[in-house]
A and B are shown apart, each in its own frame.
Chain A
Amino acid sequence: MKDGFRQSMAWLHTWSGLLVGWVLFMVFLAGTSAYFRDEISFWMKPELHAVARAAATSQPLAASAAVNFLQAKAASSPRWTVDLPSSREPALRASWAGPPAPRASGAPGASPPQRRGRQESATLDPTTGERMETPRQTRGGDFFYRLHFDLHYMPARWGRWIVGVCAMFMLVAIVSGVVTHKRIFKDFFTFRPKKGQRSWLDAHNATAVLALPYHLMITYTGLVTLMFMYMPWGPEVVYKGDQRTYISEVFPSSNAAGNAPRSTAPAPLRPVAEMAQAASRAWDSAPIARMVVSNPNTAGATVTFHRHDTGSLSSIQAAMVFDGATGALLSHFGDDLPAASQTRGVLYGLHLGRFSAPLVRWLFFLSGLAGSVMVATGLLLWAVKERQKFAKALAKGGRIGFGLRLVDGLNITAVAGLPLAMAVFFWANRLIPAGLAGRADLEIGVFFGAWALCASAGLALPTRRMWQLQIGIAGALLALVPMLNPLTGGAGLWTSMAPGLWRVAGFDSSCLMIGAALLVAARTIGVRKPAGARKRVQIDAGRSAATHGASKETEGLLTSPDSLSAAKVPR
C-alpha cells in the first residue's frame, strides 16, 4: 500500500479474488450452463424427445389451440399463461393457476416471488392442442439457473446478498487486475506450459484477457439485475416508501396487465388468434413469446401478448393488452422507453443473453467457461504460490500450514467437485425412476450429496491424487452422457442429429467434449512427476524468504513476473 498504486492493486486483486473465489466459481459455472437452460431442461425430459418434431404451425393458430385446451381444462381459472412455440422452443406450453391464495400478491420485480394458487401446466401439440405425454418431474436447467444467484438450502434473499457481495468483490478484482497489468496485450500472447506457477499465471492471464469485456460486462450486469435490492436508497428517498408509485414508474411493464379492478360478470372470450395477429403486425411481425389471459370468460377479461426477446438486446419487451370480451386494444407498452430505463433493460438483457443468435450464445457460453477457468486458475495460483513458503518444511518431512491446506481442500471442492456433482445430477435425472414421487427434489438431493462427498474427501486429503480422482470421475461421467441418453429413453446422437433435435445432439456432444477435456486434464495431473518441481520450489522458496510477508510476495508475482522467471531453474 505504501509501495505505490500498482502494488496495492495487486494485493487487492489477490485477496479480494481469493476470499470469494469458490462461490464465484460456482456462480460462473452454473450461470454459464444457464445460457442453455432450456436445452438442458429439454434433455432432462427424454419423454419429449420423440414427440418434439411436431409440425411447425403459426403462432395465432397455436394460441387458439391452447385456448381450446384451457377452456376444457380450467375455464374458471383466474389466469392462463401460454408460451407460444418459437424457433428455439418448438413446444407449446400452457399453464393455469388454481384458485388464488388468500394473501394478496406483492409487487413484482421488487420482492421475491410469493406463493400463488397451485400452478399446473401441460405441454401441448401446437397444431392439435392435445396434451403430449407428461414428462418426468425435474427442475432441469432451471436448477442451475436458480443456484447461480439464489444458492440453495437458505432463503433466496440471503443467497442473493451473498452472491451480490461476491460479485462486488469480483468487480473490484477485475478492475484492479486490469490496473495491475503493465503488459495486458503482451500477456495475452504469452503462454509458457509446464513451468508450474508461471503456467498457472499465464493461463490466468490468457483466460482473463481473452474474455475481459465479457467478464466486466457479466459482473456489472449481474449486479444490475438485482440492483434495487442491493442499493435501495435512490427509490427510498424519491418515493419515500410509496411502493405502488415506485413499481408503476420504475417497472412500467408491471402495469401492462392493468391493475384496476374489472368486472367479473360472465362473458365469452373473443378469439385470441385475431388479437395475436394484430399484436404481431404492430411489431413488424416479430414473434410473440407469451400470452397471458387474466380472468377468462368474464367481461373484465384481458389478453396480454409479450413480444419475443430474440432480435432485441433489452430484457424489457414490448407488451400489448387487449380486452378479452370485446377484442379492443386496451394499452401497449415498451415500444419507446426513456433512456435510463432502456439502458437498464439492455444491461439486464446482456446478462441473460437470450437475445442472441446461436453463434453469439455459444460465444457467451465459451466466455463463461473462460471465466470459470480464470477463477479456477486464480485460486490455484494462490495455492501454488503459498506452497513455496512451506517448501523447506516439506523437504524435512514437515507439514503445510492450516490455511494452505484449507485452500487446497476448497479448491478441490469447487473446481473438481462441482463439475462432478453436475455430471451426477444428469445421471440422477436418468437413473431415478421417471414416475417416482418427489423425484425433482431427489435429483437435487443427489447433486448436493455428491458435492458434499467431494468436499469431505477433498478437505480430508487435499492431494494431487484427489484432484486426479475427482476430475477423472467427472470427465468419465460427462463423456458417457451420450451413451446414457439413448439407454434411458432419450434420443441418441445418431437419431438426434436429424433436424429438429439439435438441442439434444448439442447437449450430448458438449458433454462428450467437456468430459474428454476433463479426462485429458486428469491424465496430465497423473503423468507430471513432482521431482523436478520440488527442486525448483525449494529455490523459489529460498528467494522469497528474502522478501517478507505474503503481500510482498504476491506483488512480485503479479507486477514483475520476470523476476520469478524459470530461467534460474536447473534443468
Chain B
Amino acid sequence: MNSRTQEAMAGGRLSAPMRHRIEVMTRAVAGIGGGYVLSSLCAAALALFLPLARAESVITGTLASFVIYTCAVMWAFAARSAAWAWGGLAAPAVPLAIALWLRLGGAS
C-alpha cells in the first residue's frame, strides 16, 4: 500500500481512481480465489453425495466445477458491491464446507 492510499484512508475518503482500483482488486480476489474455493467445494460435495457409482460422481463433480467457477467469477464482477460479491460466494460455500466436514469425519 503506497503513501497516497494511506493518506486517503486516513482522510476517510478515497480518490475515485484509487477506490476503483481497490474495488477491482477485491473483486478479483473474490472471483479467482473465492471462485476456486467454491468450485472445489462443489466438486468435492458432488463427488461425495451424488447417488452414483463413485467414479461417476467424481467425474460429474469435476466436470461441473469448471462451469461453477466461470459463474462464480462472473458473479464476483457483476455483484452490486464487493461485499455482495463475497457474500454471494460464501452463501453456498459455507453450508457445503460444513456438510463436507461432517461427512469426512471432521468431528472425530
Docked complex Cα distance between A176 and B65 (Å)? 18
Partner of A220, one of B16, B66, B77: B66
Interface string of A231-267 (1 = CB under 8 A from B): 1011111110000000001101000000000000000
CB pair A344–B47 under 8 Å, yes or no, is no
CB pair B77–A9 under 8 Å, yes or no, is yes
Task: Decide if the interface of chain B is mainly helix, strand, loop or mixed.
Answer: helix
A359 close to B (CB within 8 Å): no
CB pair B61–A234 under 8 Å, yes or no, is yes
B25 close to A (CB within 8 Å): no
Query: 19 new A-B pairs (CB below 8 Å) besides A2-B81, A231-B43?
Result: A1-B77, A8-B78, A12-B77, A171-B70, A176-B74, A227-B66, A231-B65, A233-B43, A233-B44, A234-B43, A234-B61, A236-B44, A237-B44, A237-B48, A338-B52, A338-B55, A338-B56, A344-B59, A347-B63
CB pair A238–B57 under 8 Å, yes or no, is yes
A11 close to B (CB within 8 Å): yes
Docked complex: B57-108 residues within 8 A CB-CB of A: 57-63, 65-67, 69-70, 73-74, 77-78, 80-81, 100, 104
What would be 17 A-B contacts, judged by CB atoms less than 8 Å apart?
A8-B77, A9-B78, A171-B70, A220-B67, A227-B66, A231-B39, A233-B40, A233-B44, A234-B43, A236-B44, A237-B47, A249-B54, A249-B55, A340-B52, A344-B63, A548-B16, A549-B20
Residues in B with CB closer than 8 Å to A1 are: 23, 27, 77-78
Rounded to whole Å, the gap between the CB of B44 and the closest CB of chain A is: 4
Rounded to whole Å, the gap between the CB of A166 and the closest CB of chain B is: 13
Docked complex Cα distance between A276 and B56 (Å)? 31
Q: How large is the interface on A (under 10, 10 to 19, 20 to 34, 35 or more residues)?
A: 35 or more
A224 close to B (CB within 8 Å): yes
CB pair B58–A234 under 8 Å, yes or no, is yes
Chain A, residue nearest B59 (CB): A340
B12 close to A (CB within 8 Å): no
CB pair B54–A231 under 8 Å, yes or no, is no
Docked complex Cα distance between A1 and B84 (Å)? 12
CB pair B62–A231 under 8 Å, yes or no, is yes
Question: A-contacting residues of B (Cβ < 8 Å)?
Answer: 16-17, 20, 23, 27, 39-41, 43-44, 46-48, 52-63, 65-67, 69-70, 73-74, 77-78, 80-81, 100, 104
Residues in B with CB closer than 8 Å to A239 are: 54, 58
A339 close to B (CB within 8 Å): yes
Interface string of A517-559 (1 = CB under 8 A from B): 0000000000000000000000000000000110100000000
Docked complex Cα distance between A234 and B104 (Å)? 13
Docked complex Cα distance between A551 and B100 (Å)? 40
Docked complex Cα distance between A508 and B7 (Å)? 64
Chain A, residue nearest B43 (CB): A234
Residues in A with CB closer than 8 Å to B60 are: 340, 343
Partner of A341, one of B17, B27, B46, B55: B55
A189 close to B (CB within 8 Å): no
Q: Which of B52, B57, B62, B74 has the most CB of A within 10 A?
A: B62
Q: Which of A233, A234, A252 has the most CB of B within 10 A?
A: A234
Docked complex Cα distance between A118 and B69 (Å)? 42
CB pair B20–A551 under 8 Å, yes or no, is yes
Residues in B with CB closer than 8 Å to A343 are: 59-60, 63
CB pair B47–A235 under 8 Å, yes or no, is yes
Chain A, residue nearest B55 (CB): A249
Q: Which of B57, B65, B100 has the most CB of A within 10 A?
A: B65
A161 close to B (CB within 8 Å): no
Chain B, residue nearest A11 (CB): B77
